[in-house]
Amino acid sequence: AIPARSLPEVLQGEGYRTAYITSQDFAYDRQLRFLKHRHFDLFLDMHNLKGHEDAWYGKWGIDDAVTVRAVLEEAQKPGPFFILFGMVSGHHPFVASRTQEENPDGTRVTEYLRALRYADDQIRALLEGLQEAGVLQDTLVVIVSDHGEGHGRHEGRNTYEEVVKVPAAFFGPQLAGLQLQVERVTSHLDIAPTILGLLGLPIPCTMKGRNLVSDGEPRVAFFGGRPPKFQLGLADGQWKYILEDGQLEMLYNRLDDPDGEYNLVDDHSKLVQSFKKRIQFWEQHSENLIENYGACLKESGCR
């Protein structure tokens, strides 16, 4: 119900066809309840993809190779397009194909690497298909993950670096002349504004992220983790602060200690106090924003 403009809504208004094509099941986590308001012209998931009847099914969805074919078919239609392609190959339990299922390796990490190699194969097939269709040279491609993988090392804690620090790769003709690797703290909130900036389109004021190409100012990134441990945290330059279950505090130096082995809370009490206040304010602000979004927009003058 929040009247914020989404990336597909902006692009649809600019004449793009918009599609969400995923190997997953849209019923998971009530996705359609949210997505149906976000201006997608086409929804395809594991239940209505062409060829799904004879495809391999895993725990989280269908063989990504089937989904790649659907993405390529949609991309070859006339006119500009925005396609969100959701993969499942890298998801736990890390079995991505019939071949992998029939020939298990037996160890978590090696199965994970096999699944990622399969994901790589599907990305390669997608890019080669776009190239053969003659549209890759005009297409901005963005590859990003929703989260990383800790392999259970932190016992239900989901805010350590290996989980929240994920790659985001942008490439396409829109980046011509840019020799840019962003190394400062960023957020998933920055992805949509960066895409619009690279396409030369205006960024709605309801998008709280920033165009990473043009905005070089350091910022704090906030994040949270689902139970069994309820964690909120922030990353500010070299520092990472985590507040767990409203009580347990952790402070790590992201540069010197990326694995989060040394809690420095006792060594930086003033910094910890400052970060805790910011986390608490962010939590309260977020709840207020969700509950009173219309009034907040009106007060801010944002349209």
**pLDDT the model gives residue 17:** 97
pLDDT at residue 226, as a whole number: 80
Q: What is the pLDDT of residue 44?
A: 97
Residue 191: predicted pLDDT = 96
Partners of residue 243 on adjacent β-strands:
232, 249
CB 272 within 8 A of CB 265: yes
Residue 294 has pLDDT above 90, yes or no: no
pLDDT at 143: 96
Who's near 154: CB < 8 A, 6+ residues apart?
A: 160, 260
- Cα angle 263-147-88, degrees, rounded to a multiple of 5: 150
- Torsion over CA of 146, 147, 152 and 158, rounded to 10 degrees? -110
Q: What is the mean pLDDT of residues 33-44?
A: 92
303, pLDDT greater than 80: no
Mean pLDDT over each residue of the chain, to the nearest integer: 92
pLDDT tens profile 140-189: 999 999 998 888 787 778 888 888 888 889 999 999 988 777 888 999 99
Cβ-based neighbour number of residue 113 at 10 Å: 13
Q: What percent of the chain has pLDDT over 90?
A: 67
Please tell me the number of Cα atoms within 13 Å of 69 on its side-chain side.
Answer: 10
Binned at pLDDT 50, 70 and 90, residue 290 comes out as confident
CB of 140 closer than 8 Å to CB of 198: yes
Asked if the model's pLDDT at residue 74 lies above 80, the reply is yes
Assess whether pLDDT exceeds 70 at residue 37: yes
Q: Which residues of 173-198 are buried (b: 16+ CB within 10 A; e: fewer)?
A: ebeeeeeeeeeebbbbebbbbbbbbb
User: Rounded distance, CA 224 to CA 231, Å?
Assistant: 6
Bridge-based pairing state of the strands 17-22 and 42-44: parallel
Q: pLDDT-derived band of residue 60, with 50, 70 and 90 as boundaries?
A: very high
- Amino acid identity for residue 58 in this structure: G
pLDDT score at 153: 80
The arithmetic mean of pLDDT across residues 243-265, rounded, is 93
Taking a C-beta distance cutoff of 8 angstroms, is the pair 82, 141 a contact? no
> What is the phi/psi pair of residue 231, to 5°?
-125, 140
Q: Cα 175 vs. chain centroid, distance in angstroms?
A: 20
Q: Per residue in 222-235, pLDDT tens?
A: 998 888 788 999 99
Q: What is the dihedral of CA 29, 34, 35, 38, to 10 degrees?
A: -160
pLDDT of residue 206: 86
Cα 12 to Cα 9, 60, 130, 173: the distances in Å are: 5, 29, 21, 21
The answer to whether residue 11 scores a pLDDT higher than 70 is yes
Residue 1: band (very low, low, confident or very high) from pLDDT cuts 50, 70, 90? low
**The tokens 């040279």 sit on which residue?**
137
